[in-house]
């Protein structure tokens, strides 16, 4: 009898289907919810915090709530899927983020290795048009105050999103209450990946 060596494959979370609801445990007794949006990495996070997990029958009711955060995640999240409803054609396809560019450098500054701080901020609006099946994006000049609470354009991590949501709801990872810092008042994250 001949034995075959089975290669061990690291298990990666599968990409979630568009319209999937995800349950996020911010602490052992606090839950919030997200939704997989159009595009490979797009997720939106509902303005909801509950003390016990919602049931599948509640999905349609809370799917009408407002989103408080949109983000693009580097990897498919490990949050459990709790249900699915098709995406609506109205609010489901718009995503907001921000980006900053350093001011242009002269040739002399560039050769000397001079770096200037980020000063030019832009609101990035992305949307999906279901009639022509095309995603669009535009950038509009904005001030840092106007961009508070938005994620930096680009990819972020599941852990960073959970941290921002805990601050928004005033929670620690073990469920203790702390002073809330709403997303609109959280400082802009200057790290490239967030």
Pick the residue with more confidence: 103 or 118? 103
Question: What residues form DSSP beta bridges with 129?
Answer: 134
Global model pTM greater than 0.75: no
pLDDT (0 to 100) of residue 8: 45
User: Nearest 5°: CA angle at 42, between 70 and 73?
Assistant: 90
Residue 37 has pLDDT above 50, yes or no: yes
Joined together, the tokens standing for residue 90 give 């109205």
pLDDT (0 to 100) of residue 92: 46
Give yes or no for a contact between 98 and 152, defined as CB atoms under 8 angstroms apart: yes
Mean pLDDT of 144-152: 77
What is the per-residue pLDDT across 79-104, written as a single tens digit (0 to 9) for each?
A: 999 998 887 654 445 667 777 777 77
Characterize 40-50 residue by residue with b for buried, 16 or more Cβ atoms within 10 angstroms of its Cβ, and e for exposed: ebbbbbbebee
Lowest mean pLDDT among 36-40, 72-76, 159-163: 36-40
Pick the residue with more confidence: 45 or 4? 45
Pick the residue with more confidence: 159 or 191? 159
Give yes or no for a contact between 35 and 60, defined as CB atoms under 8 angstroms apart: no
Mean pLDDT of 44-61: 87
Q: Which H or E run contains 126? A: strand 120-129
Average pLDDT, the chain: 78
The number of beta carbons lying within 10 Å of the beta carbon of residue 191 is 9
Residue 192 has pLDDT above 60, yes or no: no
Percent of the chain with pLDDT over 70: 75
pLDDT (0 to 100) of residue 99: 79
User: Nearest 5°: CA angle at 167, between 62 and 178?
Assistant: 110
| pLDDT winner (highest mean) among 72-86, 122-136, 167-181 | 167-181
């Amino acid at each position: 009898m001949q034995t075959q060596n089975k290669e061990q494959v690291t298990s990666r979370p599968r990409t979630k289907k568009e319209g999937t609801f995800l349950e996020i445990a911010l602490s052992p007794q606090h839950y919030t919810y997200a939704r997989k949006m159009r595009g490979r990495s797009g997720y939106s996070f509902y303005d909801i915090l509950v003390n016990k997990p919602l049931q599948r029958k509640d999905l349609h009711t809370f799917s009408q709530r407002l989103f408080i955060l949109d983000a693009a995640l580097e990897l498919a999240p490990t949050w459990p899927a709790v249900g699915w409803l098709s995406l609506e054609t109205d609010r489901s396809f718009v995503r907001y983020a921000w980006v900053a560019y350093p001011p242009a450098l002269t040739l002399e500054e560039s050769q000397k290795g001079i770096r200037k701080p980020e000063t030019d901020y832009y609101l990035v609006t992305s949307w999906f048009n279901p009639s022509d099946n095309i995603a669009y994006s535009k950038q509009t000049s904005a001030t840092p105050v106007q961009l508070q609470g938005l994620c930096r354009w680009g990819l972020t991590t599941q852990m960073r999103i959970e941290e921002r949501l805990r601050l928004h709801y005033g929670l620690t990872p073990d469920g203790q209450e702390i002073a809330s810092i709403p997303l609109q008042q959280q400082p802009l994250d200057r790290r490239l990946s967030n």
